[in-house]
């Protein structure tokens, strides 16, 4: 992780969903490097606990803690957010990163109903319920930040990925409504819409889709996790205090607003 990405987050208390691997892990590592204390949540318990241990290694005072959180289970969400606030002593930031894909490579008519419902439960309802659960803690902090991780697939209309694309389009729409509702409480809500990023979760993506992005970007290099991390750190920082309700595509110019 480049030190140039470490926007200052001194003593910020941040909850990150889907933090055990991929971009979530990168967000967690960057937040700690920037001075924050973090709670990592996921359903990948062994990996999440191992990451927290790695982030705490060599420190007298722990800066990371792992909590299991199932975004498809409202009770799990409520319990985990409450426990995160207790461990951190409050909450300044929430990164709604946890999500599933599950519909990749299928025509829209071939997606089973249970797959569609599962994607919506996790990606849309989970994001909504996490934010609702965190709202009192974020308001109490006086500097609350919510960063929703969307996807540029919903901006350009990626085919054969319908459930995921629809869910991320919903996350963008919710971001704007959340910003209006939570703004009076001093909470900003923004979304980052990454392009195809080289992480573990995108290893399954067909080569043709990788070529499409490579040929369509204005910046002619692969997208790396640091590209997305930098945007998320900014939206969690004091520097973004007057930015809310925005969707920031981070994709090297593959999609331009």
Report the C-alpha gap between 210 and 254 in whole angstroms: 12
Does 184 fall in a domain?
yes
- Return per-residue pLDDT of the chain as tens, 257 residues: 444 455 589 999 999 999 999 999 999 999 999 999 999 999 999 999 999 999 999 999 999 999 999 999 999 999 999 999 999 999 999 999 999 999 888 999 999 999 999 999 999 999 999 999 999 999 999 999 999 999 999 999 999 999 999 999 999 999 999 999 999 999 999 999 999 998 877 777 888 888 999 899 999 999 999 999 999 999 999 999 999 999 999 999 999 97
* Cβ-based neighbour number of residue 242 at 10 Å: 6
Q: What dihedral angle (degrees, nearest 10) is formed by the CA atoms of 236, 240, 241, 244?
A: -90
- Catalytic residue of the set 164, 204, 213, 242: 164
User: What is the count of structural domains for the chain?
Assistant: 1
Does 2 fall in a domain?
no
pLDDT at 5: 54
Does 201 fall in a domain?
yes
Report the C-alpha gap between 20 and 178 in whole angstroms: 26
pLDDT at 7: 57
Does 169 fall in a domain?
yes
pLDDT at 4: 41
pLDDT at 210: 87
Report the C-alpha gap between 178 and 58 in whole angstroms: 39
Does 1 fall in a domain?
no
pLDDT at 92: 98
Does 256 fall in a domain?
no
Q: Find tokens 């110019």 and name the residue.
A: 253
What pTM does this model have?
0.95
Report the C-alpha gap between 79 and 82 in whole angstroms: 5
Report the C-alpha gap between 36 and 13 in whole angstroms: 6
Q: Residues with Cβ < 8 Å from 183, sequence gap 6 or more?
A: 189, 244, 245
Enter the tokens of residue 104.
């990749």
Q: How many residues does the chain have?
A: 257
pLDDT at 206: 81
CATH number of the domain enclosing 124: 3.40.50.720
Residue 126's closest CA among 146, 152, 99, 162? 99
Q: Find tokens 């090297």 and name the residue.
A: 252
Does 14 fall in a domain?
yes
**213 among known catalytic residues:** no
Does 192 fall in a domain?
yes
Domain that holds residue 184: 7-248
């Amino acid at each position: 992780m480049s030190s140039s990405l470490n926007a200052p987050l001194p003593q910020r208390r941040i909850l990150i969903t889907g933090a055990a691997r991929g971009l979530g892990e990168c967000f967690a590592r960057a937040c700690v490097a920037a001075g924050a204390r973090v709670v990592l949540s996921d359903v990948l318990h062994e990996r999440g606990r191992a990451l927290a241990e790695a982030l705490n290694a060599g420190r007298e005072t722990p800066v990371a803690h792992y909590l299991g959180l199932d975004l498809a289970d409202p009770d799990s969400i409520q319990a985990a957010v409450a426990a995160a606030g207790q461990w951190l002593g409050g909450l300044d930031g929430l990164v709604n990163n946890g999500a599933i894909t599950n519909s990749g490579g299928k025509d829209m008519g071939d997606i089973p109903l249970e797959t569609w419902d599962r994607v919506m439960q996790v990606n849309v309802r989970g994001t909504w319920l996490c934010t609702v659960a965190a709202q009192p803690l974020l308001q109490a902090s006086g500097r609350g930040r919510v960063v929703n991780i969307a996807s540029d697939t919903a901006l350009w209309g990626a085919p054969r990925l319908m459930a995921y694309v629809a869910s991320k389009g919903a996350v963008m729409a919710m971001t704007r409504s959340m910003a209006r509702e939570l703004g009076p409480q001093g909470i900003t809500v923004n979304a980052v819409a990454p392009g195809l990023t080289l992480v573990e979760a995108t290893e399954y993506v067909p080569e043709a889709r990788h070529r499409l992005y490579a040929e369509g970007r204005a910046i002619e290099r692969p997208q790396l996790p640091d590209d997305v991390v930098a945007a998320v750190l900014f939206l969690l920082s004091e520097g973004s205090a007057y930015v809310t309700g925005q969707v920031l595509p981070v994709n090297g110019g593959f999609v331009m607003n």
